[in-house]
Structure 1
């Protein structure tokens, strides 16, 4: 996985640990916020193994923090960072999370399709730790390796199927002069 917006699990957790007394708020679009009554419903670890269009195998791990907005309008403030950290500690007591795993926040509601987003900038505003969520995007790993995802100037295509291998077959005369059978000789 190659994405310049990503943050690893250890760095994400360290940012939270710096501000346990603040309220944790998530902004998923400009001026659109996850409701203050959200819950962290689960933390998932997803090891990914893939083969890209250039035939190269890739592997990485994602740590997905899932947020849920109840449909009931609960009153109150957003979750304190220390509460989020207690959920993280509970999860880590049962599941060893990859410290280098790429963090994604999974969220959706009736007005916003569920998707996984990167935690962007952490901002402090008064008593809030605000986490701007940044959409993920598809990518071509061949381009990130200096290759192409399409036709190169030399006319090569990284995403095209490989040319079938043509095997050379050597024809050998199996009939030796002395031990050969000829039609009508009675040797067969």
Structure 2
């Protein structure tokens, strides 16, 4: 999901509870806070010497131990007001992918992408997912569609990989 779409969904649904499903059936607690917003530029070189560049908006969620008994989730209105304040200080790149950084005692820190969302009468639920790592230079590294390494194994001298 792009940052612009996320902000538009918040603006169009300001009377709802904002919930984050970080794993199937598991939600960030009602005691979460938006603790940081990162505007990042990724400059990468893959193992086949290919370069790439893109931008991301990373919103960090943190569960306050002092509010563990809190009953209600943050409203979309409050989240939007926080993000508007951030945008006045550091403008958003609206076409950047939005991700959420989160962890708890049973879930290691991860940057999660928006896999889907659900809107109902009272809730805006973002369904988050972990993006698996992958080889971006499969052809140069001799990796087939089934992720099998061919005879010209990755990183062999002269393979074009690494």
Pairwise TM-score range, normalised by the shorter structure = 0.7 to 0.9
Q: Do structure 1's residue 70 and structure 2's residue 64 form an aligned pair?
A: yes
Distance of 1:161 and 1:86 partners within structure 2: 55
Gaps of 5+ in 1: 1-6, 164-188
Q: TM-score when scaled to structure 2?
A: 0.84
Shift of 1:15: 2.0
Match of 1:9 in 2: 3
Match of 1:125 in 2: 120
SS of the aligned residue for 1:55 comes to: coil
Distance of 1:154 and 1:138 partners within structure 2: 20
1:40 to 34, 45, 56: 34
Q: Does the 8 Å contact 2:59/2:101 carry over to 1?
A: yes
Q: Do structure 1's residue 85 and structure 2's residue 80 form an aligned pair?
A: yes
Q: Does the 8 Å contact 1:49/1:57 carry over to 2?
A: yes
Choose between structure 1 and 2: higher strand proportion. 2
1:92-145 CA-to-partner distances (Å, cap 9, x unmatched) read 1111221221111111011111111011211023301111111111122224xx
Shift of 1:53: 1.2
1:50-79 CA-to-partner distances (Å, cap 9, x unmatched) read 111111111111110100001231323101
Q: Do structure 1's residue 18 and structure 2's residue 12 form an aligned pair?
A: yes
The number of equivalent residue pairs is 154
Tell me: CA distance 1:151–1:130, structure 2 relative to 1, closer, same or farther (3 Å).
Answer: closer
Distance of 1:68 and 1:39 partners within structure 2: 5
Match of 2:111 in 1: 116
Tell me: CA distance 1:151–1:137, structure 2 relative to 1, closer, same or farther (3 Å).
Answer: closer
RMSD: 2.2
Distance of 1:114 and 1:154 partners within structure 2: 34
Distance of 1:75 and 1:38 partners within structure 2: 9
